Structure 1
Amino acid sequence: MAQHKSSTSRTGSARSAVQARQMRLPGWAGALRRQIVVIALLACFALLLRERIAALDWGAIAAAFAQVSPLQWTLAAFASACSFAALANYDALLHRALGTGQPPERARRAGWVAIAISQTVGFGLISGALVRWRMLPGMSLLEASRLTAAVAASFLAAWALLGALVLIALPVPLADQGAWAVRAMAGIALLLGGVLTGVALWKPGMKIARWHLRLPTLPVMGRLLWLCLLDTAFAALALWLLLPTGSGIGALALYPAFLIALGAGFVSGSPGGVGPFEVTLLALLPQPETAPLLAAILAWRLVYYGAPALLAMAALALSDRAHPARLRPHLVPPAPVLTPRLAHLIGQSDQPELGLLRQGEHSVLLSPDARSGWMIGRTSQALIGLLDPFGDVDMPTHLAQLRENARDEGRIACAYKLGPRSASIARKSGWHVAPVALECWLDLSEFQLATPARAGLRRKLRKAEKAGICCAFEAAPDAGDLARIAAVWAYARGAERGFSMGRFSAAYVADQAVIVARHNGAIIGFASFHTGHAAWVLDLMRPAPDAPDGTMHALILAAIDAARACGVSRVSLAALPPRAADIAGPARKIWDRAEKGASAAGLRQFKMGFAPRLSPRYIAAPSRGALMLGAADIARAIHAPPALCAPSQTPVSEPNEGQIHPPARAPFKSCSRSS
């Protein structure tokens, strides 16, 4: 229940966060002032309720407390342990999301110890940060402070959303106006939660003034909500188990009141919410006698606050900070040069599209034996295996590694543009699979223009020939001319697409096979291809605005001739979306809408004019929800890719086994021929 029982007052969080960013210790002075305010509020609260407090029968409370049976104590202790097991996972989850590299077991242990102590002694942000710093080797006090603030903020957000859901499903017994007010506030909280979810999906990173805000991924949000449910439900169950037999309070009736009382404790800022929690619970629960309920709350505070605090202090005293440094994270910074191991693996692959690694955007996930790999793309919500794995592939192992790494990052796992065989293995492994594209490719051993299916292509080629267009492979075309044409092309279309599609840069295109179209000696368009020992794959097509009709068709034909000259047997024209008529279910409407776009129709007509063979490509994910989220995130990444970063020119060392290796770059080796 990440700091939900602590005394961390939300009124001072902003100041503490600013001080943390300035590399200073947490706000001691501010926290002290906050505690003084809390004590003053509690004194005022007690003064206002002095008559009700004076009317309490302390003897009856003591008698009711003495009637709590050993079985009740045992069951309540078990429920409390379950609650702490859930809240400890807040730390493990956020450690993964923040990439601290701390082992999950150590993160969980430090988390429950920090929460158990801070909820009892108060000064939640400071005490929690100090405990985490003490128990997590390799973590600075500043990092521990940020983690503590993140744990508290994440729980508060999850509690607000969970409380809204519970109050709508299980309304508390209030008068008409009060019930409507509670439901209205719950509806507003749900609306804000929906807005936050949409922002996390479509714009997870944003800049507000000088601050950069990055929201958690949807998988992390979902896990936080689930942990919050387990945490608070077991905490409420522990209290319910301590109620006297025949109290007339059901567990489902207690839970929404418990959540509201918890919120009252937050607002007060007192240690454990003492005072406001009790009064709120008394006001919301239909209890004719207050003594048994107060006795149960007292017993609950002992078993839920006192006992964990004692155990936590013992664990803190026995902990040793002198442990080895944190584990190295799996992610390695980008580098433009392939290590020899990866260069060999990729060189032996029959997937020329792996040349996309030279874009400096994607990573490589190596298998444990380092004999196979998988190109990995990262979006705001997903870790995505692109194309098929390469090398000595063990597809089930690669799928398991992808899921594990995605979970470590707080993302969903997804595979995009799998071939039929890999998709079949993914389906047998329990993944959900759906068609996502059709690869258009030409078998050069049988490609001929003089066929009825290519009549339209011949007409286009005659137009280009009549206009005086000359297309040929050029080993070193003028980079400035190519950049100018690419910039005009991108400007006319708003921007280039990315992620699984290449984007122009002089260094990127320099290592590809580039076919150039000229008119009267001037470059009016070009096409670039990923190259391999057995196949070429179309990457960029960039015609000038005044390029005559048929120019791009002539470029592809010139590429076919150049590939044949290199002994290549296959040329791919890249992929097209599947036809809506071939799709079943709700996805058919999506593809039907995509087919109505003018650019999609023109691209299909262009590629189908070559009468290519079609091979299906698939998207896969562990669940239907992950498949839908992954598809949406991939679409966003393709249509609105982030700016490419200039990669460092320093090569990295050989990666450790099972690690994700950075984006890399391999030279294109062309056959010898004149331009």
Structure 2
Amino acid sequence: MQSLKLPSAGQPLQVLRLTAPFAMAALCLWALSTRIDLPSAADLGGMLGELQLWQWLAACSTTCFSFWALGRYDAVAHRHLQTGLDGPQARRAGMAAIAFSQFVGFGLFTGAYARWRLVPGLTVMQAAQLTGLVGVTFMAALAVICGLAMVLFPVFAWFRPLGALLVALALAAGALSFVAPRLTLGPLSLRWPSLRAMLALSVWALIDVTAAGTALWVLLPATLEISWTTLLVVYAIALGAAILSSAPGGTGPLELMIFTLLPAQDSTGLLAALLAFRLVYYALPAAIACVIMVVPDRLKSIRAPLTDPDLLGAQHSAAETLPHYRFRAESGVIRQNGGHVQAFGFNQLALLNTPQISVALYDPMNGVFKETLAPLQRYARERNATPCFYKCSARNALAARQAGWVVLRIAAEAVVTPLTFSEAGSSHRQLRRKLRHAEKAGITVRPAPPSLPLEQMEALDLAWQNHHGGARGTTMGRFEANYLATQRVFLAWQGERIIGFVSLHIANAEWCLDLIRICPDAPDGTGHSLVRAAIAGAKQEEIPRLSLAAVPDHRYAARMDPGLRRFKACFAPEWRPRYMACPNWGDMMIAGCELFRLIHRPDPVQPAILMRSDDLRSSLGLNLPGVLPGSETEAAEWNGEAQLTENQSPRAAPQASRAS
């Protein structure tokens, strides 16, 4: 930016930027010459000639292993940037780009150019972003590797405290990336890699550094007695210095750092090993990379459509296309939390992508649950994210466990049947008392008119938030005009004043309670009257099932809002367990922490997008009569008793796979 403001200073700065790496290399080589006695060319040639064939072959093998890991590293970076170009070709291009850039130097420019040239469909900007991401994250991973190595295998006494500091900083950065997924620097907003991506990058970097250090170790002459662990620690530190210098091949900084950390070794033998290492690890891969750069067609192929069988038929649809005929009305929450409708063949999920996870909310909207497990896992992998099902039914949790996933009971959903609901009987004694209190206070509840009184409702919502310390989100709705326009709303009046309202997600055969907003000074029983009116409204429209939504149901649930459970218990609902499912317990921990963050610290509300009036009414089923279970099979399904059969048609299978 300074060069744009000060044109006269641009040329010197450009020259300095280009010459600094060479100056650094020359300075380090001069410093090295003052520390050791440089051997003659004949002595170096003699030492190289004494290396055995197996040493050269072993060094070549470990070099191949190192570059294989670097190719995998590039694949993780492609997935983070969502280039859509992850695959064998991109991995091979990454290997060639790193071989070319580490030999030539100026890694950001040469690496970006190589990737742009070798990967068709990759733009210049994407190539630069990819190269920058690889460089920055590799240095971060290398710092962690150096820290751990210095703690575990200290060469000097001061290694342990310095290594512990590096590890502590890395852990702090990981925690920061989880709490604040985006780093904002002025107008620039950067997304941290997910924890899953960080772990993968660290593993591939560790394999790369270990393999490269091993290649140097096997090339040591017999006269040098340096342990493998000691050399790995020293090489990792020297590699960091070499990368930071941007010198071609790291020449100078790498050698100077190694001789500084290994001062008591035979300089001739160590220098010969470094020369052999440069031939095997730098020169040979660079020669291959240059050939590929000249003839890139060997790597090129037209971007092919997705052929992963797990993802065939995958389709991403906006939240406003949410089907009215779906199993779980509560999936309507994706209209404001940034989620979307994800189809895997005939199976549809309400899916939410976050920096850490790809979470399918509730049961599939349509389709067979077990057919979504593998596609969801592969879909999440393409984002470096953790796959997760949140609040799925007991039946589907069992299917996930049978597929090898781990499940955890997290909630209990309160369900009532509007068609047969009555407040008579001992189980509704508390409800009757609350309704009488509301009636004596002059509370009347009516369905909201088509034109919602948004100003009064917004003021009420603000008062409720101030009283309760804010609204939770992501899996629970928040006040927003367009969002409420897609729901069924009931208002509680006291005279001419609105003192409360509830909103419900609506689907063809289910309503689900979403927002409950009651004035802090509202009479006792206001909330009960609102929910009772909603049940009556569902009965009038012949809706067979109304969900009062879920409450926490685990070992710590007693400490989490017991008043909410007591409120819902007044309606004597059927309590149905809800589960969380992930491929393993590590993923479960990540998903649980991410969901806790999203619920308690939600992102800003995203206004729901409304369709045209006719399309909206059709989508919400407002022109359709209420749908009753049409057969014994469907009725049993709503009660959680239906079983899949071998001869069901593809169209019937989604209905039969619905778990209560």
Q: Same fold (TM over 0.5)?
A: yes
CA positional deviation for 1:140: 2.6
In the aligned structure 2, how far is the partner of 1:670 from the partner of 1:491? 38
SS in 2 for 1:631: helix
In the aligned structure 2, how far is the partner of 1:202 from the partner of 1:87? 29
Answer yes or no: is the 8 Å Cα contact 1:513–1:668 preserved in 2.
no
Residue 437 (structure 2) pairs with residue 463 (structure 1):
yes
Deviations 1:99-142 (A, max 9, x none): 11223222212211111111111222111111111112232323
SS in 2 for 1:625: helix
Deviations 1:459-497 (A, max 9, x none): 111100101111132342433332332233234334322
SS in 2 for 1:499: coil
Answer yes or no: is the 8 Å Cα contact 1:335–1:648 preserved in 2.
no
Correspondent of 2:567 among 606, 610, 613: 606
Q: Percent identity?
A: 35
2:648 maps to none
In the aligned structure 2, how far is the partner of 1:224 from the partner of 1:149? 14
In the aligned structure 1, how far is the partner of 2:55 from the partner of 2:103? 23
1:547 maps to 522
Deviations 1:492-511 (A, max 9, x none): 33432211111222222222
CA positional deviation for 1:154: 0.8
Letter in 1 for 2:283: G
2:393 maps to 419
CA positional deviation for 1:523: 2.0
In the aligned structure 2, how far is the partner of 1:400 from the partner of 1:551? 46
1:116 maps to 99
In the aligned structure 2, how far is the partner of 1:665 from the partner of 1:52? 82
Q: TM-score, normalised by structure 1?
A: 0.84
Residue 113 (structure 2) pairs with residue 130 (structure 1):
yes
Answer yes or no: is the 8 Å Cα contact 2:32–2:255 preserved in 1.
no
Deviations 1:623-651 (A, max 9, x none): 11110110111011111211123456689
CA positional deviation for 1:450: 2.4
Answer yes or no: is the 8 Å Cα contact 2:318–2:340 preserved in 1.
no
Answer yes or no: is the 8 Å Cα contact 1:513–1:530 preserved in 2.
yes
Distance 1:672 1:524, change over 3 A: farther
Correspondent of 2:559 among 587, 593, 596: 596
Q: List aligned pairs for 1:565-584, cutoff 5 A.
A: 565-580=540-555
In the aligned structure 2, how far is the partner of 1:478 from the partner of 1:213? 40
SS in 1 for 2:327: coil
CA positional deviation for 1:19: 9.4
1:654 maps to none
Q: List aligned pairs for 1:194-593, cutoff 5 A.
A: 194-245=171-222, 247-285=224-262, 288-320=265-297, 324=302, 335=318, 337-338=320-321, 343=323, 346-347=324-325, 349-359=326-336, 361-367=338-344, 369=345, 371-393=346-368, 395-476=369-450, 477-580=452-555, 591=556
CA positional deviation for 1:551: 0.5
Correspondent of 1:634 among 595, 611, 627: 595
Deviations 1:46-99 (A, max 9, x none): 444445454535433221100122222111111100100111222211111011
2:637 maps to none
Distance 1:521 1:601, change over 3 A: same
In the aligned structure 1, how far is the partner of 2:356 from the partner of 2:193? 9
In the aligned structure 1, how far is the partner of 2:493 from the partner of 2:32? 89
Correspondent of 1:153 among 114, 120, 136: 136
Letter in 1 for 2:595: I
Q: Which stretch of structure 1 is more off in the superposition, 569-578 or 32-41?
A: 32-41
Deviations 1:184-205 (A, max 9, x none): 2222211211211111111111
CA positional deviation for 1:434: 0.4
In the aligned structure 2, how far is the partner of 1:548 from the partner of 1:199? 44
CA positional deviation for 1:521: 3.6
In the aligned structure 2, how far is the partner of 1:86 from the partner of 1:310? 19
1:643 maps to 604
CA positional deviation for 1:354: 2.4
CA positional deviation for 1:366: 0.8
In the aligned structure 2, how far is the partner of 1:525 from the partner of 1:496? 15
Correspondent of 1:618 among 564, 579, 593: 579
Answer yes or no: is the 8 Å Cα contact 1:334–1:647 preserved in 2.
no
In the aligned structure 1, how far is the partner of 2:146 from the partner of 2:217? 18
In the aligned structure 2, how far is the partner of 1:30 from the partner of 1:131? 25
Deviations 1:219-270 (A, max 9, x none): 1111111011000000011111212346322322211111122133234432
Letter in 2 for 1:466: K
SS in 1 for 2:122: coil
SS in 2 for 1:538: strand
In the aligned structure 2, how far is the partner of 1:232 from the partner of 1:48? 26
Answer yes or no: is the 8 Å Cα contact 1:334–1:360 preserved in 2.
no
Distance 1:141 1:332, change over 3 A: farther
Structure 1: segments with no counterpart, 5+ residues = 1-14, 581-590, 652-663
Answer yes or no: is the 8 Å Cα contact 2:21–2:248 preserved in 1.
no
SS in 2 for 1:615: strand
Distance 1:640 1:666, change over 3 A: farther
Q: Which stretch of structure 1 is more off in the superposition, 350-359 or 617-626?
A: 350-359
SS in 1 for 2:364: strand
Q: Which has the higher contact order (CA 8 A, sep 6+)?
A: 1
CA positional deviation for 1:328: 9.0
CA positional deviation for 1:381: 0.9
In the aligned structure 2, how far is the partner of 1:74 from the partner of 1:315? 23
CA RMSD in angstroms, aligned pairs only? 3.0
Task: Give the length in aligned residue pairs.
Answer: 612
Letter in 2 for 1:498: G
In the aligned structure 2, how far is the partner of 1:461 from the partner of 1:270? 79
Letter in 2 for 1:513: R
2:165 maps to 188
Deviations 1:290-316 (A, max 9, x none): 222222211111111111011111111
Letter in 1 for 2:568: K
SS in 2 for 1:389: coil
